[in-house]
Chains A and B, each alone.
Chain A
């Protein structure tokens, strides 16, 4: 009987392939009555270095649809540029604004058909007149799932319990925003690859409002 000695990996590199750079982020989307709050941290890291500490990971796809991005910056920028273009075209051809479902499924097509060459985990969230608030999560291989609330990125692992226990249906906009900030702050406290400030956007039929929070509701623990 042979025994194999496995490659020793540090705690850091165990989940990464050789040469793959860890893409740190925490992104969240939580619905409320009449809309969705999306939120993200602002840290772009290359290895242990913070390349950009105030990045904007929340991209507007159309008037009432936003995408949160985790993964390769280049890949997600290219993808959002394509989806923006497609949604503009859809609006011209159909005469009405695109649905969140359309945006999510267009993105899924792109991610799935290029799965070997892309590294992108995104959340598409927004409001449309057909369905109201909607949230879709598109994972690394191109799986597209409609979900009641979404969280993604390396930091999201640390807040699964928190969100599972604190999420409720039919919150108000302020309650949803507070929960988004709370969850992000907890993730940022524990994930070295997430940090900086919290950006949130509340998307409703009437319009969107962006918030920038540098005073995190939760910081480094003191025990």
Chain B
């Protein structure tokens, strides 16, 4: 007598392999995204050189949350981009000059994520979408696993919402240069490495400016200076101390 089949899991209930925060900021000429390259399996650092920022045509998507769901979303977007190349201009939903912009992608992802959420089988991600809007201006928007969309000049997902947003709010100006925007994002990524257990100092940047979309290779942040303060070096475990942590 064969054992009764165990029903296979049909709905994503818990994320397994995850990425942490993604940050995005609009500056004078475009948009910058930043994310670390770590995938965690619970508390284990499973893979440490994995890009979480991806360019599809003229849009860059960054994802935190379940990585397999991000891979599936990228498949869907790439198939959509391919389909556009074989669709006549008259039938296409998108204009001839700009094609499928980041704002269009953002809207499409909203529909995708909301419909999955409505079937109790969400894509367990928080996505940042960067590029241009329908009017050609720099665009940064987010979509979360229940289909909530936000468009703003600076957005952070995951831990970044708690630790990086206050810094971004304080320092953002509409006329930030690329250098200032990059320095601000790197500073936020350092803070996240110090205070988020699931973060790493190996990060990746992506830029959408003028008409180019660039995703950098991973590189390591220089965090050495932040451990040098005398107060940190002191031990507190010795007999004459109070024995605290």
Which of A48-56, A111-119, A142-150 lies on the face that meets chain B? Answer: A48-56
> B3 contacts the other chain (Cβ, under 8 Å)?
yes
The answer to whether A221 and B232 have CB atoms under 8 Å apart is no
State whether A220 and B201 are in contact (beta carbons under 8 Å apart), knowing that A11-B42, A154-B43 are contacts in the complex.
Answer: yes
Question: How distant is the Cα of A22 from the Cα of B44 in the complex, in angstroms?
Answer: 12
State whether A197 and B232 are in contact (beta carbons under 8 Å apart), knowing that A8-B14, A50-B197 are contacts in the complex.
Answer: yes
B191, chain A: closest CB distance, angstroms: 10
Interface size of A in residues (CB-CB distance below 8 Å): 56
> B16 contacts the other chain (Cβ, under 8 Å)?
yes
User: Could you mark each residue 233-245 of chain B with 1 if its beta carbon is under 8 Å from any beta carbon of chain A, else 0?
Assistant: 1011111000111
> A1 contacts the other chain (Cβ, under 8 Å)?
yes
State whether A84 and B239 are in contact (beta carbons under 8 Å apart), knowing that A1-B4, A197-B227, A214-B227 are contacts in the complex.
Answer: yes
> B7 contacts the other chain (Cβ, under 8 Å)?
yes
The answer to whether B245 and A24 have CB atoms under 8 Å apart is no
A199, chain B: closest CB distance, angstroms: 7
> A165 contacts the other chain (Cβ, under 8 Å)?
no
Question: How distant is the Cα of A5 from the Cα of B159 in the complex, in angstroms?
Answer: 32
State the majority secondary structure of interface residues on B: loop
User: Could you mark each residue 40-53 of chain B with 1 if its beta carbon is under 8 Å from any beta carbon of chain A, else 0?
Assistant: 11111100110000
> B200 contacts the other chain (Cβ, under 8 Å)?
yes
Which of A29-37, A92-100, A133-141, A185-193 lies on the face that meets chain B? Answer: A185-193
> A106 contacts the other chain (Cβ, under 8 Å)?
no
The answer to whether B220 and A219 have CB atoms under 8 Å apart is yes
Chain B residue nearest in CB terms to A10: B14
A121, chain B: closest CB distance, angstroms: 15
The answer to whether B38 and A48 have CB atoms under 8 Å apart is no
Question: How distant is the Cα of A192 from the Cα of B19 in the complex, in angstroms?
Answer: 12
State the majority secondary structure of interface residues on A: loop
The answer to whether B245 and A3 have CB atoms under 8 Å apart is no
The answer to whether A60 and B202 have CB atoms under 8 Å apart is no
The answer to whether B49 and A191 have CB atoms under 8 Å apart is no
The answer to whether A59 and B237 have CB atoms under 8 Å apart is yes
Which residues of chain A from 175 to 202 have any CB-CB distance to chain B below 8 Å in the complex?
189-193, 195-197, 199
State whether A53 and B194 are in contact (beta carbons under 8 Å apart), knowing that A214-B228, A220-B220, A223-B49 are contacts in the complex.
Answer: yes
Question: How distant is the Cα of A48 from the Cα of B163 in the complex, in angstroms?
Answer: 13
Question: How distant is the Cα of A50 from the Cα of B243 in the complex, in angstroms?
Answer: 20
Question: How distant is the Cα of A81 from the Cα of B243 in the complex, in angstroms?
Answer: 8
Question: How distant is the Cα of A215 from the Cα of B16 in the complex, in angstroms?
Answer: 31
> A170 contacts the other chain (Cβ, under 8 Å)?
no
The answer to whether A190 and B45 have CB atoms under 8 Å apart is yes
In-complex Cβ contact of A192 among B6, B43, B228, B243 (8 A): B43
> B15 contacts the other chain (Cβ, under 8 Å)?
yes
Q: List the B side residues contacting A84 at CB < 8 Å.
A: 239, 243
Question: How distant is the Cα of A62 from the Cα of B227 in the complex, in angstroms?
Answer: 28
B220, chain A: closest CB distance, angstroms: 7
Residue among A13, A24, A56, A63 facing the most chain B CB atoms (10 A cut-off): A56
The answer to whether A52 and B233 have CB atoms under 8 Å apart is no
Please list 12 pairs of residues, one from A and one from B, whose beta carbons are closer than 8 Å in the complex, sorted by A's number.
Answer: A8-B14, A47-B197, A50-B194, A50-B195, A52-B245, A56-B235, A56-B236, A57-B237, A63-B239, A84-B243, A189-B48, A222-B202
A residues near B (Cβ < 8 Å) are 1, 3, 5, 8-14, 22, 24, 43-45, 47-50, 52-60, 62-63, 66, 73, 77, 80-81, 84, 154, 158, 189-193, 195-197, 199, 210, 212, 214-215, 219-223
